[in-house]
Chain A
């Protein structure tokens, strides 16, 4: 999820402090806290699965690309950077094989569908 969860949580923490000030208008406070609660819900959903999903996705994309290797550093920033590199390479491969290699195209589409299943959030409209 972008923006990254730690960045958002940091900003939300500051927002909660600002809203503790009694001079904040109740309507402004209600609006800010309602949205903050929703974002905390998304962050809670992401907490347990993010590293696992990134590792799985990186592994799946490497397979499509024909790359070897594995994620050794499991910090989210490192996994995300590798995921971005792999997804950019996937875009380039997809463009190259379109109309040229139906089997590889199908493999790429299957991975793209799978990527949206890994990233599904509760209550999503699609």
Chain B
């Protein structure tokens, strides 16, 4: 199925590079793990000014039904806003919102090649020696995202505005709605967590900033020195309380069983790095709220993946893996944050 895509991608790009001749796509390979978009890498070759050229690119295409329902334009613009900043992000090239060229909407970006994203690599040499440095970079970059001005970045034009006091209500309401519509069985732990969240709301956001929405170990490209070269998976980015991202990065499912933030360092170390970089404060009670909220959000994502499979919208195995592997762990994470485990 990937082979038949190559000439269609080449034709699409050729129309957008009128100066190029002999545009061709080769080596199209699907990158496993993407449940919200189909992700492929390929090599684009062309001739320009008599010279042969090549570039490694990434194609992100919507599947028939996805783990996360998102607006691809927002994702595209978020990448574009941060490219070239203190937040490393790949260069975006083309966004296609129609179904015509490749059956589903997609975008094409430059590949940041030569680095790793898989968390599984981090627990052995040579990466295990880099955890302190990697954590410093991880939460410093998250602090830079929190510090960024959405208006200066132009993201206020594509992302829904929100008042500081409404951030928590909108996010909790949205993800509770996903659970209401998608759950395949009653979820007593998550429903108890939602009741606690509603009874104990956080203070208004210190600022309304850009929230990445899925900032965790596994969603950035790292090297053997603990440097981060690209922050990926911006499909859930939105305007909101920066503590939301910090809470997602600390939620226990992303400890990978190591009892450390992101599997890397103790929680208080991660928070200290983030506070220094962002210039914001992580009030412990507010951070607990956002960490528990992110347990609810995580469960809603795993549940909606199961729903897409159950309803037949997408019966790929990637839709089953998150609920089977993580649903119970997510319940246990919520118990842990609530002090019940």
Contact = CB atoms under 8 A, between A and B. Distances in A.
B181 to A, nearest CB: 14
A77 interface: no
Contacts of A34: 32
B51 interface: no
Main secondary structure of the interface of B (DSSP, over half): helix
Nearest to B191: A91
A100 B47 CA distance: 75
Interface residues of A, number: 44
B310 A2 contact: yes
Contact of B255 (A7, A94, A113, A126): A126
Contacts of A84: 185-186
A1 B195 contact: no
Contacts of A17: none
A15 B333 CA distance: 33
Contact of B185 (A2, A31, A38): A2
B335 to A, nearest CB: 6
A126 B188 contact: no
Contacts of B306: 2-3
A34 B257 CA distance: 22
Contacts of B321: 35, 38-39
A76 interface: no
A116 interface: yes
A114 B121 CA distance: 32
A126 B253 contact: yes
Interface string A3-14: 100011001100
B61 to A, nearest CB: 13
Given A113-B341, A116-B332, A125-B326, 15 more contacts: A1-B323, A1-B324, A2-B184, A3-B184, A7-B309, A7-B310, A15-B317, A28-B30, A84-B186, A87-B187, A94-B191, A98-B195, A112-B188, A116-B331, A125-B255
15 contacts: A7-B310, A11-B317, A15-B315, A25-B30, A32-B316, A36-B317, A88-B186, A91-B188, A91-B191, A91-B192, A94-B188, A115-B331, A116-B341, A121-B329, A125-B254
Interface of B: 1-3, 28-30, 32, 184-189, 191-192, 195, 252-257, 303, 306, 309-310, 315-318, 320-321, 323-333, 335-336, 340-341
